[in-house]
A = this chain, B = another copy of it.
Amino acid sequence: MRFTDFLLDRTSQALRRGPSISKLVVLFAVSSGGLVAYADSRSNYFVESSQGPPKKKLVVLGTGWAGTSFLKNLDTSQYDVQVISPRNYFAFTPLLPSVTCGTVEARSIVEPIRNIVKKKGGQIKFLEAECFKIDPTSKKIHCRSNIGTNLDGNGEFMLAYDCLVVALGAKANTFNTPGVVENCHFLKEIEDAQKIRRSVMNCFERASLPNLTEEERRKNVHFVVVGGGPTGIEFAAELHDYVTEDLAILYPGVKDLVKISVIEAGDHILTMFDKRITKFAEEKFQRDGIDLKTNFKVVKVSDKAITMSNPSTGEFSLPYGMVVWSTGIGTRPVMLDLMKQVNQAGRRVLATDEWLRVLGCSDVYALGDCATISQRRVMEDIAEIFKVADIDNSGTLTVKEIKDVLDDICVRYPQVELYMKTKQMKDFSDLLKESRSNAKLEYIELSIEDFKKALCNVDSQVKNLPATAQVAAQQGEYLAQCFNRMKECEENPEGPRRIREPGRHRFRPFRYKHLGQFAPLGGEQAAAQLPGDWISIGHSTQWLWYSVYASKQVSWRTRMLVVSDWARRFIFGRDSSCI
């Protein structure tokens, strides 16, 4: 960027910033598209402003799966895009458990967000800062640079937006268990994985020091994983591999003292998977000597011991060397604050509609782990649906009338289709049959009560989407497509018929397409649950895992690095340096 470009940039930025520039002292608008001069208390510039109508200012918060997927798919020529995130990179988080043991290096799974946006022709501006307050009323966000204090002032700034895309992700959920924040490791960020890696090595080095009793040595190499979800289980499996494949040779005096415990509050681990996978994983862990403590609830964590309880054993403590806490996600403070402002204070997580628009305010979109789609219930709208379907205003619906709106209903309320699928029904007539068992369908005329009765159970199929990378990435892509075709679809809406208002929705609502999920179990074995409830377990699944994860990398650089890391691990093992 040459100097004139830089000035131009500053000016247009300043102009858009509006009231936030308190230091704007003089502003001469010579002509609307002509020469603009402005001066603030700190600098003087004479600049030519850009031609054409101003683009909408789109601010994106977050560079995780949702934010990055959105940016990658966005047509940046239509918007003036600013991206704010405390991390200037995208991290391929599904490989975080591999980073904890050095199977893959941290640098291999990150890609600078500027590299990603560079491919968009430099139309995106990135600011490394943390948004600590969203103000949807005045359409502003408040940010703070998190890089030291070397910035003059406190590093805070404000940005105005026309559209805001919130993809801030979530924080680890401690369920307010005392001592967790102080004494446990989490596994959400790159830094977490790096800290765990260092901590594992420190535990081994500590256990190798002289003048320790065997009990103390055992304590130092007791690794506890809290949470039997995919992340916790994958970490436990990785750690077991690391210990048996690499560290056992380097720490011969310690290897027999190592113990890995997994604490899970429920009856089983990996409950989001098919029971066959759960069973296989539990059996494999048992063979590997990993101590599975199901039905145990962690009560507190001190700096030396973790206290848990179980109805049969009561409360007891175990000394530990390291605890990794991986029990699900909680809401970030900035999101809680936003929820208060948009009358969602009572909820656990920010709700959006099916188009990812935050409920209770306008021009704010939220996606990924920081929000959840609040699917409208059929029974909430049943009267309106009936009215929309009842074209002749007869007060009753014929099967033909229903069929005319059925497609729109299925798009607007995906639970209807899901319910029919679950009950193995072919079409809507089966649903009617369920409520009215013996009648010739062609002659049926449904009253509102009949209609209600037919649909009364469908809402049971409304489920929240899982907090996975897959969901976030699909939401990002979906929202980018919506933004790209905003104008086009304004004129030719392609969404379903509106139920409460006239006309059609601009876009089809977001629909998640599950592509399957992996659970690596260590020892070059993995389990996979693929669409259509297809289950695959074993060594071949691990190779499927390798190929899928290699292909899903965000750039050729990270792909090459990840694959070469895997190769290096096979040839030389994992590095055990404490750096």
In the complex, chain A residues 200-235 whose Cβ is within 8 Å of any chain B Cβ: 201-202, 205-206, 208-216, 220
A579 to B17, CA, bound (A): 31
When each residue 84-123 of chain A gets 1 if its CB lies under 8 Å from chain B and 0 otherwise, what string results?
0001110000000000001001110011101100100010
Would A202 and B9 count as touching, CB distance under 8 A?
no
Question: What is the oligomeric copy number?
Answer: 2
- Distance in angstroms between the alpha carbons of A572 and B89 in the assembled complex: 16
- How far does the Cβ of A202 sit from chain B's closest Cβ, in whole Å? 4
Q: Is the CB of B150 within 8 A of A220?
A: yes
Complex CA distance for A576 and B220, rounded to whole angstroms: 36
Q: Roughly how many angstroms separate A126 CA and B497 CA in the complex, as a whole number?
A: 73
Query: Are B157 and A88 in touch, CB under 8 angstroms?
Result: no
Asked if B145 contacts A206 (CB within 8 A), the reply is yes
- CB of A245 within 8 Å of the partner chain: no
Q: Are B210 and A159 in contact (CB under 8 A)?
A: yes
A191 at interface by CB-CB < 8 Å = yes
- Flag if B147 contacts A206 (CB, 8 Å): yes
Residue in contact with A561 in the complex, picked from B87, B122, B568, CB distance below 8 Å:
B568
A564 interface contact, C-beta 8 A: yes
Rounded to whole angstroms, the CA-CA distance of A84 and B339 in the bound complex is 55
Determine whether the beta carbon of B89 is less than 8 Å from that of A155.
no
**A575 and B210 form a contact (CB under 8 A):** no
Taking a contact as CB atoms under 8 Å apart, the answer to whether B89 and A579 are in contact is yes
Whether A424 is near chain B, meaning CB under 8 Å from some CB there, is no
Q: At the interface, yes or no: A578 with Cβ under 8 Å from chain B?
A: yes
Using CB atoms, name the residue of chain B closest to A183: B150
Contact assessment for A1 and B253 in the assembled complex, using a CB-CB cutoff below 8 Å: yes
**Are B110 and A575 within 8 A (Cβ)?**
yes
Contact with B along A236-279 (1 / 0, CB 8 A): 00000000000001111101100000000000000000000000
Query: Does the CB pair B147–A202 fall under 8 Å?
Result: yes
Q: Is A557 an interface residue (CB 8 A)?
A: yes
Partner of A209, one of B115, B128, B250, B572: B128
Q: Does A304 contact B (CB under 8 A)?
A: yes
Interface residues of A in 514-561 (CB under 8 A from B): 556-557, 560-561
Question: Nearest B residue to A82 by beta-carbon distance?
Answer: B210
* B577 contacts A209, C-beta separation under 8 Å: no
Q: How far is the CB of A361 from chain B (nearest CB, A)?
A: 24
Instruction: Name the B residues within 8 Å of A114 (CB-CB).
Output: 250-251, 576
A367 at the interface (CB under 8 A from B): no
Q: What's the minimum C-beta distance from A119 to chain B, rounded to whole angstroms?
A: 11
Q: Is A292 at the interface (CB under 8 A from chain B)?
A: no
Q: How far is the CA of A159 from the CA of B210 in the complex (A)?
A: 9
Assembly CA distance A128 to B253 (angstroms)? 14
23 contacting pairs across A/B (C-beta < 8 A): A1-B252, A1-B256, A3-B256, A6-B256, A17-B210, A110-B575, A112-B575, A112-B576, A115-B576, A118-B250, A122-B252, A126-B208, A147-B205, A150-B206, A150-B303, A151-B212, A151-B216, A151-B220, A152-B212, A157-B211, A194-B579, A557-B568, A557-B571
Task: Enumerate chain A interface residues (CB-CB to B < 8 A).
Answer: 1-3, 5-6, 9, 13, 17, 42-43, 87-89, 102, 105-107, 110-112, 114-115, 118, 122, 126-129, 145, 147-148, 150-152, 155, 157, 159, 190-191, 194, 201-202, 205-206, 208-216, 220, 249-253, 255-256, 303-304, 321, 556-557, 560-561, 564, 568, 571-572, 575-579
The 6 closest A-B pairs by CB, nearest first: A1-B252, A89-B577, A128-B205, A557-B572, A114-B250, A42-B213
Using A88-B577, A145-B205, A148-B202 as known contacts, list a sample of 12 further A-B pairs with CB atoms less than 8 Å apart, ordered by residue number in A: A1-B255, A6-B253, A88-B578, A89-B577, A105-B105, A107-B575, A118-B250, A145-B206, A157-B210, A157-B211, A190-B579, A194-B579
